[in-house]
């Protein structure tokens, strides 16, 4: 029964924070550890993709010779936050 509930939560959840909370509230099941590991990998993949996109934008800005210091600063800040968040996963 708990495994069905865990699968239902995984299928319906649209928010990673909500999903993590729901999974943490379930009693231990064999599926729970698998679902939690999948969530960690999914989160890391999303951050990795986000970081890749930021790096691409920074390279594009730098190679174009565009003087967009505020944009560069924002992208570098987002990159820094993403790396910190990966450490928290």
pLDDT digits over 28-85, tens only?
665 566 666 766 777 767 777 777 777 777 777 666 665 667 667 777 777 777 666 6
Domain boundaries, the chain: 2-88
DSSP string, 11-31: HH---HHHHHHHHHHSPP-HH
Tell which residue, 16, 78, 70, 69, has the closest CA to residue 51: 78
pLDDT computed for residue 60 by the predictor: 73
Q: C-alpha distances in angstroms, 59 versus 55, 56, 75, 76, 82? A: 6, 5, 11, 12, 18
pLDDT computed for residue 1 by the predictor: 44
pTM of the model: 0.41
pLDDT computed for residue 58 by the predictor: 73
Angle between helices 2-12 and 30-64 (to 10 degrees): 20
Give the separation between CA 83 and CA 89, rounded to whole angstroms: 10
User: Do residues 23 and 6 touch, judged by C-beta distance below 8 A?
Assistant: yes
Residue scoring higher pLDDT (56 or 6): 56
């Amino acid at each position: 029964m708990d495994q069905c509930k865990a699968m239902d939560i995984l299928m319906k959840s649209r928010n990673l924070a909500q999903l993590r909370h729901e999974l943490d509230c379930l009693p231990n099941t064999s599926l729970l550890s698998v679902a939690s590991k999948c969530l960690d990998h999914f989160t890391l993949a999303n951050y990795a993709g986000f970081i890749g996109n930021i790096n691409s934008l920074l390279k594009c800005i730098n190679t174009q010779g565009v003087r967009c210091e505020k944009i560069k600063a924002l992208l570098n800040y987002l990159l820094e936050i993403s790396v910190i968040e990966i450490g928290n996963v």
